[in-house]
Amino acid sequence: MSTITIFGAGNIGSAVAGIAVKAGATVQVIDRNPDKASAAAEGVTGAKFGTAEIAGDIVVLALPFPAYDDVIAAYGDQLAGKTIVDPSNPIDFGTFDLALPKGAQSAAEYLAGKLPQSTIVKAFNTNFAATLAAGVIDGAPTVAQLASDDENAKKAVAAFIEGAGLKTVDAGPLKRAQYLEGYGALQIILGVTEQTPWTGGFKVVK
């Protein structure tokens, strides 16, 4: 099992850290607050954003999309050659419209443009954090939807998710991130308007 580095010790960072530990990976969590990073999940090694070196072969950016540029500025060189997992839903929380840099079709494709020497996998953005942490949604295993142009990278990400008892589906190439991000945005809108619970959302039946 791989070594996985997770940037961010918030809702998604902590949930993915728990999944990775359960799958048997060695897990490093990097956050601006190293104590918060260490507390993300039992068994992780916490480290401070900016000074820590990336230990993982797979790197999960569990940060708000606007923070991605900060990671690229601080860690762009170290991210070369690695598999980068993008769970972001790039939303303007004032309007709930997708908010992407000019010309970008999706956050994942924007990231691929900024990190041409890295391999990008879209994953987790269609799951609420609670359903990732629990590993179940409405009595069935939580299903993560993946998109990437690199089949081996997609398989490596699927392996650690499935190693923790969750399931995955393959949505196809990275350009499908456009659909996944629209799906993620809609799910958030239904949650914010209290039509669906944060412990639920869309359930993929496999």
Ligand X SMILES: NC(=O)c1ccc[n+]([C@@H]2O[C@H](COP(=O)([O-])OP(=O)(O)OC[C@H]3O[C@@H](n4cnc5c(N)ncnc54)[C@H](OP(=O)(O)O)[C@@H]3O)[C@@H](O)[C@H]2O)c1
Q: Whole-angstrom Cα distance, residue 109 to residue 122?
A: 9
Candidate list 12, 47, 79, 174; residue touching ligand X; CB under 6 A = 12
Pick the stretch among 65-73, 115-123, 156-164, 167-175 that binds ligand X (CB under 6 A): 65-73
29 binds ligand X (CB under 6 A): no
Min. distance of Cβ 90 from ligand X in angstroms? 7
67 near ligand X, rule: CB under 6 A: yes
Residue 70 in contact with ligand X, rule: CB under 6 A: yes
The rounded distance, in Å, linking the Cα atoms of 26 and 187 is: 31
Out of 110, 128, 141, 142, the only residue in the binding site for ligand X (CB under 6 A) is 128
| 63 counts as binding ligand X under rule CB under 6 A | yes
Tell me if 46 contacts ligand X by CB under 6 A: no
Q: Give me the residues that bind ligand X (CB under 6 A), please.
A: 8-13, 31-33, 36, 49, 62-65, 67, 70, 87-89, 124-125, 127-129
